[in-house]
Amino acid sequence: MARTDRGRGRLAVAVSVFGELLITAGVVMALFVVYSLWWTNVLADREAKRQGHAVRNTWAQKGPGALDTKDGIGFLHVPAMKNGEVLVKSGTSTDVLNEGVAGFYRTPVKAAMPWDKQGNFTLAAHRDGHGAKFHNIDKVKTGDRLVFETRDVWYVYKVFAELKETSKYNVEVLDPVPKESGVTKPGRYLTLTTCTPVYTSDYRYIVWAELERTEKVDADRTKPAELR
């Protein structure tokens, strides 16, 4: 009888320890999720704002002139995403995108710049965590306007196609003439890319737009009608 009681006692201790381990693991997992989906956003937004202010200060100090800066080439505005302005920098590496910005592709297909006579201005940003600047990309629809702001010019684009899921290896969506979007000749295109479904990186979500017009930036930096 004593042996049976001791066996049951050991089993109870083992079950108790295992249960505590499960609870601890659950707490750790919950904290990791909070860190990944909330705290990284806080840190990235803070860093993106700092860098954005630095770019605007540089513009103010230098006045009219070259469009590019070493810290960022301009700001993307997508009213449908309701995410404010997004600083755009060079490169799409994790180090760049984790700063809460969008990056333009240098590889595998080099992006054209908005001021180029033709080509595809291709951008990437995170959909979840680290600022999640393209989290609401699914809210962008055909006919919506996207605006890219540089020091001297507003570039206004009109969305003409969306691809809600494609392989992460499909680099043809970045081509100067992205034929998968339906276009067949050179133009001045803008492509947004991010991961999908939400909270995964299995596939890519694509939005294509074409330059509709440009507006020169005035002394007051009056926003285009699409942003008012």
Q: How many domains is the chain built from? A: 1
pLDDT tens-digit readout, 174-225: 999 999 999 999 999 999 999 999 999 999 999 999 999 999 999 999 999 9
Residue 85 lies in a domain: yes
pTM check: above 0.85 = no
Q: What percent of the chain has pLDDT over 70?
A: 80
195 has catalytic annotation: yes
pLDDT tens-digit readout, 199-209: 999 999 999 99
Residue 110 lies in a domain: yes
Place of tokens 């997508």: 78
At 61 the pLDDT is 84
Query: How many CB atoms are located within 10 Å of the residue 74 CB?
Result: 27
87, 140, 195, 209: which is the annotated catalytic residue?
A: 195
Residue 16 lies in a domain: no
Separation between Cα atoms, residue 226 and residue 228, nearest integer Å: 6
Residue 22 lies in a domain: no
Show pLDDT as tens, one digit a residue, over the chain (228 residues). Answer: 555 655 555 655 555 544 454 444 444 344 334 445 678 888 999 999 999 999 999 888 875 555 555 679 999 999 999 999 999 999 999 999 999 999 999 999 999 999 999 999 999 999 999 999 999 999 999 999 999 999 999 999 999 999 999 999 999 999 999 999 999 999 999 999 999 999 999 999 999 999 999 999 999 999 999 999
Residue 95 lies in a domain: yes
Residue 20 lies in a domain: no
Closest CA to 103 of 134, 81, 79: 134
What are the b/e assignments for 36-63, b being 16+ CB within 10 Å? eeeebbebbbebbeebbeebbeebeeee
The residue segments making up the domain with residue 186 are 46-227
Residue 18 lies in a domain: no
Closest CA to 97 of 140, 58, 128, 137: 128
At 71 the pLDDT is 78
Instruction: Say which CATH number the domain at 181 has.
Output: 2.40.260.10
Long-range residue pairs from 46-55, CB within 8 A, at least 24 positions apart, any chain = 46/100, 47/99, 47/100, 48/86, 48/87, 48/99, 48/100, 48/101, 48/131, 51/87, 51/89, 51/99, 51/101, 52/85, 52/87, 55/87
Q: How far is CA 156 from CA 7, 9, 83, 190, in A?
A: 75, 73, 17, 10
Separation between Cα atoms, residue 165 and residue 128, nearest integer Å: 16
Residue 30 lies in a domain: no
